[in-house]
């Protein structure tokens, strides 16, 4: 994960603590402070070191936890990176970018809306990436926060306010946080109730992908429709 991230190690453990299985959590950090194309590329270049560190811990599953770092590199990047990491470590390998795609597919969503914290040019790349995966992005918001540490401090009412400003009339699902650093876990269930459609985040999609990848039931209470049993019957093919 990015060195400036403070949210993954909060939201993912909080989610998986609701599962009957027990988990331990281990992370390795790639230097990145400002969410810019240059710093994202430099961060990605540190991947091999971080994977080696986690491989030494004998992890069962590894999540590449920076969605925009992969999506900013162009369509299909999560598949290329996951394949490269599998060649380096004997574990289930996932990414936040791939997890969001798979989570939306598990919900049967084709028309989606997004809230992102990114500067507009990076947000446009995220939109383009998802559209290349076959989704139609009906509306989206960019909160224009470039400092990754500040992204971790965005208040929930600002995120929810951005969601309220979207046109959701034709959306199948709302991604209330298309970023693992922007806190949103406490917003997912209330947003589903308010907007009347499935709501997910990079965190809930990541937890869903981890559980499915490990062959565990992807059901967690109070975490939105995705983790209420959606997609149980079709686990991803690891290594595909």
Residue 142 tokens read as 């960019």
The pLDDT tens digits for 106-121 are: 999 999 999 999 999 9
Please state, in angstroms and rounded to a whole number, the distance separating the CA atoms of residues 85 and 228: 30
Residue 119 tokens read as 């500067």
What pLDDT, on the 0 to 100 scale, is given for residue 230?
Answer: 53
Query: Does the annotation count 179 as an active-site position?
Result: yes
The pLDDT tens digits for 179-222 are: 999 999 999 999 999 999 999 999 999 999 999 999 999 999 99
What pLDDT, on the 0 to 100 scale, is given for residue 189?
Answer: 96
Residue 145 tokens read as 């926060």
Catalytic residue among 66, 180, 187, 200: 66
More confident residue, 33 or 198: 198
The band of 167, judged by pLDDT with boundaries at 50, 70 and 90, is very high
Average predicted confidence (pLDDT) for the chain: 94
pTM of the full structure = 0.93
pLDDT at 236 over 50: no
CB neighbourhood size of 158 (10 A)? 14
Please give the biggest Cα pair distance in the chain: 48
DSSP-derived letter for residue 237 is -
- DSSP H or E segment with residue 52: helix 47-56
Catalytic residue among 179, 205, 209, 211: 179
- DSSP H or E segment with residue 70: helix 67-71
Query: Does the annotation count 50 as an active-site position?
Result: no
pLDDT at 32 over 50: yes
C-alpha torsion 156→129→147→37, nearest 10? 180
The pLDDT tens digits for 67-119 are: 999 999 999 999 999 999 999 999 999 999 999 999 999 999 999 999 999 99
What pLDDT, on the 0 to 100 scale, is given for residue 174?
Answer: 98
Please state, in angstroms and rounded to a whole number, the distance separating the CA atoms of residues 140 and 152: 20
CB of 203 closer than 8 Å to CB of 185 = yes
């Amino acid at each position: 994960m990015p060195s400036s991230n403070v949210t993954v190690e909060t939201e993912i453990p909080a989610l998986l603590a609701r599962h009957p299985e027990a988990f331990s959590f281990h992370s390795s950090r790639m230097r990145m402070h400002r969410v810019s194309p240059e710093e994202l590329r430099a961060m990605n270049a540190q991947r091999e070191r971080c994977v080696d560190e986690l491989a030494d811990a004998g992890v069962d599953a590894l999540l590449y936890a920076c969605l925009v770092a992969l999506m900013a590199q162009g369509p299909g990047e999560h598949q290329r990176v996951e394949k490269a990491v599998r060649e380096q470590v004997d574990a289930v390998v996932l990414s936040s970018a791939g997890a969001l795609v798979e989570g939306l597919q598990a919900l049967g969503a084709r028309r989606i809306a997004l809230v992102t914290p990114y500067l507009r040019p990076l947000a446009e790349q995220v939109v383009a990436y998802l559209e290349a995966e076959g989704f139609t992005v009906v509306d989206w918001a960019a909160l224009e926060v470039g400092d990754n540490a500040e992204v971790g401090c965005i208040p929930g009412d600002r995120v929810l306010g951005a969601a309220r400003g979207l046109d959701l009339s034709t959306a199948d699902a709302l991604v209330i946080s298309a970023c693992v650093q922007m806190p949103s876990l406490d917003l997912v269930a209330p947003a589903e109730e308010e907007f009347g459609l499935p709501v997910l985040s990079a965190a809930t999609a990541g937890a869903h992908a981890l559980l499915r990848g490990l062959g565990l039931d992807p059901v967690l209470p109070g975490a939105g429709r995705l983790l209420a049993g959606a997609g149980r019957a079709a686990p991803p093919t690891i290594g595909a």
